[in-house]
Amino acid sequence: MTLISGTIFYSWAESLSLFDALYLSFITLTTIGYGDMYPVTAIGKAFTMLYVTVGLGIISLFISKLASAEKARKISKRKDTH
């Protein structure tokens, strides 16, 4: 959903094709940021600051969930061997 909303926004605010907007959304959310595309409008820059913050939060939450699941798996495995 985040990737779609970014694509729609960049397509509208930056006058990009849907594919270019998707590309910009993807490289922004993944924090790759090649530098070949970037927002040039003030609203695009403001959106990008919020978008990156939300994207980092989502990635952090995902990594946290993976770490919790791995920890629970290891604890369960220890209990099974004792």
Listing DSSP states for 17-64 in one string gives -HHHHHHHHHHHHTT---SSS---SHHHHHHHHHHHHHHHHHHHHHHH
Give the model confidence (pLDDT) of 26-73 as tens digits: 999 888 889 899 999 999 999 999 999 998 998 899 999 999 999 999
pLDDT band at 82 (very low <50, low <70, confident <90, very high): low
Distance from C-alpha of 52 to C-alpha of 16, rounded to nearest angstrom: 19
Q: How far apart are CA 80 and CA 16, in angstroms?
A: 55
pLDDT of 81 over the 80 cut: no
What's the pTM value of the predicted model, to 2 decimals?
A: 0.75
C-beta atoms surrounding 7 within 10 Å: 20
